[in-house]
Amino acid sequence: KTQVEQSPQSLVVRQGENCVLQCNYSVTPDNHLRWFKQDTGKGLVSLTVLVDQKDKTSNGRYSATLDKDAKHSTLHITATLLDDTATYICVVGASTNTGKLTFGDGTVLTVKP
């Protein structure tokens, strides 16, 4: 069973539109949740990390929420740009010393002119 499920699998928006990506997980324990951006064939770039039971973060046009009771997170991208075209990956970190992470499969976002 997939422990980190992301939806939608893919999404197409027009430049300037807003979008919301979802992440549901069943990982226990859930010490923190992080969103990464990955350009095609490239490495992962961290966008934000959420830690608290009910957490909100903001990083420029990216904002995120986490509800650990619901085991649910959202990533909001405001006023999308062509450069936002990428795969967005939700990752849950367990509260162990090993730093082991559980990755979602990602949402592929395409921003069109």
User: How many CA atoms are closer than 13 Å to the CA of 25, on its beta-carbon side?
Assistant: 30
Residues that bind other proteins (CB under 8 A): 4, 31-32, 41-44, 46, 49, 89, 91, 93, 98-106
Distance of closest approach, residue 36 Cβ to other proteins, in angstroms: 8
Distance of closest approach, residue 21 Cβ to other proteins, in angstroms: 14
Distance of closest approach, residue 66 Cβ to other proteins, in angstroms: 14
Nearer to other proteins, 35 or 80 (CB): 35
The residue to which tokens 């559980």 are assigned: 102
Nearer to other proteins, 71 or 104 (CB): 104
> Is the Cβ–Cβ distance between 111 and 80 less than 8 Å?
yes
Residues linked to residue 77 through DSSP beta bridges, in sequence order: 19, 62
Distance of alpha carbon 50 from alpha carbon 67, whole angstroms: 9
